[in-house]
Amino acid sequence: MKRFVGKLWRDFTHAFTGWTGVALAALLGAVIGVGGFTVYYAGALDYLGDDPATCANCHAMNEQYEGWLKGSHHDVATCNSCHAPHDSIVNKYVNKADNGFWHALKFTFNNYPENIQIREHNKEIVEDACIYCHGNLVDQANSSSAHKSDQTMSCIRCHDGVGHER
């Protein structure tokens, strides 16, 4: 196996000798350089953390951030507490990458609505987060007459502004 991998590596590296190798190295260097600068300049590594101020980097989220600062969840929850999955760290970062990609794309090309709407699968994540933190209250609410109906129970249908009051 070691010889096989060694042969593959030698064949690969010999294919890029001379000017082809120099051109490939220059192209690869340019892509890595521009990509690294973009990641640094955009503060992309900050998004791996849990600081709510990072979510306000984009002017479109300022209203939500200011509402969170005044809101009822300010002392006990961050943006990720409600807007990222709790079932696994992999799902959390896959969701953050998915949302980050679409946010960056829409904000870069100025292609987002003034009234930002939460996507359907993110509504499910928020609902799951409510139950994750408030499961005992949800159980009580399900058994109360005020919440009995033929409709599916939805925390954010009635408690939409909780955590980020305006």
pLDDT digits (tens, 9 = 90+) for 86-105: 999 999 999 998 988 888 88
Residue 96 and residue 125 share a domain? yes
CB 127 within 8 A of CB 86: no
The pTM for the full model equals: 0.67
CB 90 within 8 A of CB 97: no
**pLDDT of 164 strictly over 80:** no
98 is a domain residue: yes
The CA–CA distances, whole Å, from 114 to 4, 32, 43, 58, 117 equal: 57, 34, 24, 13, 9
73 is a domain residue: yes
Burial class (CB in 10 A: 0-12, 13-18, 19+), 107: middle
Burial class (CB in 10 A: 0-12, 13-18, 19+), 84: buried
Tokens of 1: 């196996």
In tens, the pLDDT along 130-145 reads: 888 887 776 666 666 5
Residue reference for tokens 């503060």: 43
166 is a domain residue: no
In Å, the largest CA–CA distance within the chain is 78
CA 42 to chain centre: 15
| Dist. CA 162–CA 127, nearest whole Å | 12
**What is the average pLDDT value for the chain, to the nearest integer?**
82
In tens, the pLDDT along 23-52 reads: 988 999 999 999 999 888 878 888 888 898
**Structural domain containing residue 139:** 48-158
| Dist. CA 71–CA 115, nearest whole Å | 19
Residue 89 and residue 10 share a domain? no
Residue 34 and residue 13 share a domain? yes
CB 131 within 8 A of CB 138: yes
165 is a domain residue: no
Which of the pair, 15 or 127, is modelled with greater confidence?
127
Residue 136 and residue 118 share a domain? yes
58 is a domain residue: yes
Number of domains in the chain: 2
